[in-house]
Amino acid sequence: MLELIFITSNNEKLAHARYLSKEYAIIISKKKNYGIGYDEPRIDNREQLIAQSIEDAIKRFGKTVSKPENKFFFIEDTSVIIDALSAESEYPGVNIKYWMQENDFASIDKMLKDKGNDRRVQVRSDLILVLPKKLQEKFNKQYIVFTSSSNGNITSQEFNIETQPLFPWLNSKTFNKWFIPDTCDKPLSMLPIAEATKHDFRARAFREMLEFLKDNAGVKSIDDYRKDGPQLKLFEPYFYVVCGPTCSGKSTLADYLSKKYNYYHIEASDYMHLSYYEAHGINSQVTIADFAEAALKADPGIVANQILKDVNNLKAVPVIVTGFRSPDEIKNLEEKYIGGLYIEVVYIDAEQSIRFLRNQERGRYDVQPTIDTFSAKDQQQFGMGLSTIKEEASYIISNNNKLEDYYTEFETTYSKQFSSILASTEVRIPRVFKGRQLQNAIILTLAKQEDITKFYTTTEIAHLIKTNPDFSSNPKHKDNISRYFNQNFHPYFEISPRHGLGTYRLSQTGRAYAQWLLKNQ
């Protein structure tokens, strides 16, 4: 999967870029260095600004990235042209960021009324994609610019706008809060995402850039993968999607299949947290509960799409995913999965009284103190679609008695699939994690700690790796560990802020990853 590095310190822009690229097999990463990614001069001429900005970005990129000549990166410049104020030159043009800091709605409203109240405006996006050396030679240029825009009017009244939890670029901070696209009656920041995307001033530029990468860098869209996907083979291992209410035994089953049959376990809720962190960072006032509720309503594939980016790279590795709550999530997974395994939806059931006792014994952070609160959580999950999943599941299994009986029933039901795994002499595990030594060192070291509830700073993690006999001969520098966590969020870790900075421990997916890695490295 191609990595495309976005040189920006703006988390909202980064989330927007990832959203616009979600239908392509591509990873959009943050800039690789600390400090500014490039010096953006305060000049009015767009061409000069782009040329100077990209020249500085190329120099900084070359100093901070290994083999920069083989990598793609891009920057984005937003500009605004207000017709009534642009008689001599574009205004505020490329200085929109500074202009927004210096003006409020009242001052802008006065400017427009003084000029006859012509409120027409154009919002423009320029994407500057820097090419690797081979494509520079092919096209005889260092970079390519992709441009798109949207027309409309500046609002005649100020709206009370709250940031959309799932789509943080639709907020009260940027020009989106005042920009009413043509044919709309509300600012862009207030529009539903489907309508906002129709009028998105960045959308066409991103689409053209991604199509360029499709033609010249082998990037595929999800539709391409579906057309070219491998055919299913009889009695191949199943790709299990295991659902059920809290403490029914989903993770217990996944852990058993991982240890005995080498299944790779993914917990869906860890990917919901991943989407949340990517949209809002770690210090947001938006709660994960509010985000998840809004996310699943607006985009049922938000978790499934994140999972698919990992699963589609695993090829024939047997996979088990736990924790989906909505049938639409499963439908999205089934439609976009490009691997060669058959997806089997299994529902685990257990009596509420038994599950409540397990909840008490487990004592996790989300423990419910009373049967009433536990029952309320059940009802919330059933309302999200869990009851529909039960009705549509391929197989329902009860887990009210001994674990041995639970495992035996499951293995008996799918004996042909498990027999194919045990009988196979093929090395089924591709080296998909080759080259991820730093990530593996972090995960394997945290997995060794006795207190799995403790969060660690990057400095503490560096010390733990240094004292880990498996890595003491190749310790990891604290700055490299900080860079790993700062560049991207990962589903393998839970994050807790301490003094405004992140501290980390393994998530359920991270612990499963460590177990799987130890077995197959």
pTM recorded for the entire structure: 0.71
pLDDT at site 315? 66
- Maximum Cα–Cα distance for the chain, whole Å? 81
Tell me whether the CATH fold assigned to 229-423 matches the one assigned to 437-520. no
Domain ranges of the chain: 2-216, 229-423, 437-520
Residues 6+ apart with CB under 8 A from 349: 244, 245, 248, 390, 396, 397, 398, 399
pLDDT at site 231? 44
- pLDDT band per the 50, 70, 90 thresholds, residue 141: very high
Residue 136: pLDDT over 70: yes
The model's pLDDT over 334-354, given as tens digits with 9 standing for 90+, comes to 888 877 788 999 999 999 999
The model's pLDDT over 353-384, given as tens digits with 9 standing for 90+, comes to 998 988 888 756 566 778 888 888 888 888 88
pLDDT at site 437? 83
Strand 264-267 to strand 395-398: parallel, antiparallel, or no bridges (unpaired)?
Answer: unpaired
Q: Which two tokens stand for residue 259?
A: 């240890």
d(CA 485, CA 431): 22
Taking residues 278-296, what's their average pLDDT?
Answer: 81
Long-range contacts of 93-97 (CB under 8 A, 24+ apart): 93/44, 93/46, 94/43, 94/44, 94/45, 94/46, 94/49, 95/42, 95/44, 96/175
Give the CATH number of domain 437-520; options: 3.40.50.1110, 1.10.10.60, 1.10.10.10, 2.70.98.30.
1.10.10.10
The model's pLDDT over 229-250, given as tens digits with 9 standing for 90+, comes to 544 444 478 899 999 998 999 9
The model's pLDDT over 435-463, given as tens digits with 9 standing for 90+, comes to 578 899 999 999 999 888 899 999 999 99
Is the CATH code 3.40.50.300 the one for domain 229-423? yes
Task: Say if CB 188 and CB 203 are below 8 A apart.
Answer: no
CATH topology of domain 2-216: Maf protein (3.90.950)
